[in-house]
A and B are shown apart, each in its own frame.
Chain A
Amino acid sequence: AQSVTQLGSHVSVSEGALVLLRCNYSSSVPPYLFWYVQYPNQGLQLLLKYTTGATLVKGINGFEAEFKKSETSFHLTKPSAHMSDAAEYFCAVTPLFSGGYNKLIFGAGTRLAVHP
């Protein structure tokens, strides 16, 4: 079964510093890959996704992620953290052999804290 591993359940950065949230997936065939963000007491919102094509994908709020097949990774980055980036971030995959349904498999999440 496919799985998603997010290294680090909590990440803390200073405002203006680089944000790096790590995600690795287990699959012999690259699935579709996603990052979702959850602000406190809200639902999840899609940040960005990779399906095919260019391996560096840009999302909302200045975030981007790079798909590296050789490393089975899809790490999320942002050059300069803002206080409003504080949230829970979830990496997710859609298994290619699930019948094609939107059966997202989520990682355990990484809580990003941004301090002044």
Chain B
Amino acid sequence: DTAVSQTPKYLVTQMGNDKSIKCEQNLGHDTMYWYKQDSKKFLKIMFSYNNKELIINETVPNRFSPKSPDKAHLNLHINSLELGDSAVYFCASSQGQYGTGELFFGEGSRLTVL
């Protein structure tokens, strides 16, 4: 039983297209995150939701729009894809929004923009 699952695992698309990545966690956590890992393996937080409320919104282009329909799901929609959006996007979850720092990560969704 996968604790944090993301779909799709691989996504290849053309510049200008719109795409979505979905994430679900079955750990009963109330906080979920999107992280971006670039080609140099550098990880940066993008968004975080706690009980469907947006609590972290880093300086991410507004082409990226997260949505959390319930506390077990967090989706990421990207409009007008650009070459620089190519990366691995990781979903993560934690119990509580305050800094114990133990996050549970999904396996990642590798996005390639051509």
Which residues of A are interface residues toward B (Cβ below 8 A)? 32, 34, 41-46, 49, 51, 88, 90, 92, 94, 96, 98, 100-104, 106, 108-109
Add 14 more A-B contacts to A90-B43, A102-B94 (CB < 8 A).
Answer: A41-B107, A43-B90, A43-B92, A43-B104, A43-B107, A51-B101, A92-B101, A94-B101, A101-B55, A101-B56, A101-B98, A102-B100, A104-B45, A106-B44
Whether B101 and A32, one on each chain, are in contact in the complex, defined by CB atoms closer than 8 angstroms, is yes
CB under 8 Å from chain A, chain B span 62-114 = 90, 92, 94, 96-108
A34 and B90 CA atoms in complex are apart in Å by 18
Which residues of B are interface residues toward A (Cβ below 8 A)? 4, 31, 33, 40-45, 48, 55-56, 90, 92, 94, 96-108
Known contacts A32-B99, A44-B90, A88-B41, A102 near B31 by CB under 8 Å = yes
A88 and B96 CA atoms in complex are apart in Å by 27
A49 and B107 CA atoms in complex are apart in Å by 21
Residue in chain A with minimal CB distance to B98: A100
Known contacts A43-B106, A44-B90, A104 near B42 by CB under 8 Å = no
